Chains A and B, each alone.
Chain A
Amino acid sequence: MPGLLGKKIGMTSVFSAEGKNIPCTVLEAGPCVVTQVKTVDSDGYDSIQIAYGERKEKHTSDAMKGHFKKAGTTPKKKLVELRGVTEYKTGDELKVDIFEEGAWVDVTGTTKGKGFQGVVRRHGFAGVGDATHGQHNRLRAPGSIGAGSDPSRVFKGTRMAGQMGNVKATIQNLKVVKVYPDENLIVVKGSVPGAKGSSVLISI
């Protein structure tokens, strides 16, 4: 599916024609350059590789410099491969006008990292029992993690404390509220994973 790399700018709200206040996220999308085209003949499947954001020459490896030079463009920060897209050729520029107002898009980003979190925050456990009546130290504890001697082990996938956030997440079917082709901006309804300035992939 065609898409664009970009970054999250922030949130605002917009009044619709009916007077409803719609929460929106403003995203910068593109312009992206097609840096490589894969076809069934050459690689066994169809896809394009798009690049977004400027990278300094001195921070680019020689191998990547050659890769960008082949596409006839300057070094870029982010690269992503979009499978099943055929209608572009190397060096083409993709702009935000591939999206239409009123259409639906999916936005992929990296969620805000929350660090190492306990089960109450990470999985919504209720904690254990009371704070008083002799209870000590157990307020936000996970409780039992399984039966005893029968399995004699903890089942895989048991919800426990650990790293929360900072994972890839996709929000599907966000409505496109506005597109500004000159400013490379797209406004979608609802929220998008990640912090302001974090990179996102917007796909149709």
Chain B
Amino acid sequence: MDAIKFVEQDVNGNIDFPDFKAGDSISVSYKIREGNKERIQVFQGTVIQRRGSGSHETFTVRKVSGGMGVERVFPLYSPFIDSIKVNKSGSVRRARIFYLRKRTGKSARIKEKLFVKKDDSAK
């Protein structure tokens, strides 16, 4: 297994994204290639899960756009991800907050985590 980790470390390199988890509100800047031109699209929403490990790790971001729920799955090590910004860290009790899908309006809110641990903020 260590050899696999070595290969993954070598090909993925170190990604310098901030640490985020389910419940956090983030903005993902995603590179989109149209022909020869490249532009950046920002997808802003709530992280509802992080899944997998190593090269295969992905995260799902959910937003409500015009009354319609939109979810997008990003591979964490995708070369198309330009940057990730954590707007708000949310306080939730589970790692996969799929219950958000059934909720709208007031009940779909997530409490903000106001006191962040010192070693977390260092990242």
Contact = CB atoms under 8 A, between A and B. Distances in A.
A117 B3 CA distance: 34
A185 B79 CA distance: 24
A14 B3 contact: no
B101 interface: no
Interface stretch (B4-12, B86-94, B110-118): B4-12
A183 B3 contact: yes
Contacts, number: 44
Interface in B73-100: 75, 77-80
The CB with the most chain A CB atoms within 10 A, among B55, B77, B78, is that of B55
B1 interface: yes
B56 interface: yes
A14 B55 contact: yes
Contacts of B56: 12-13
B8 A12 contact: yes
Question: Would you call the interface of chain B mostly helix, strand, loop, or mixed?
Answer: helix
Interface string A47-70: 000000000000000000000000
Interface size class of B (residues with CB under 8 A): 10 to 19
Interface of B: 1, 3-4, 6-8, 10-12, 54-56, 75, 77-80
Given A15-B12, A185-B7, 20 more contacts: A9-B3, A10-B1, A10-B3, A12-B55, A12-B56, A13-B55, A14-B7, A14-B55, A15-B75, A15-B77, A15-B78, A15-B79, A19-B78, A19-B79, A21-B75, A21-B78, A26-B3, A26-B7, A183-B6, A187-B7
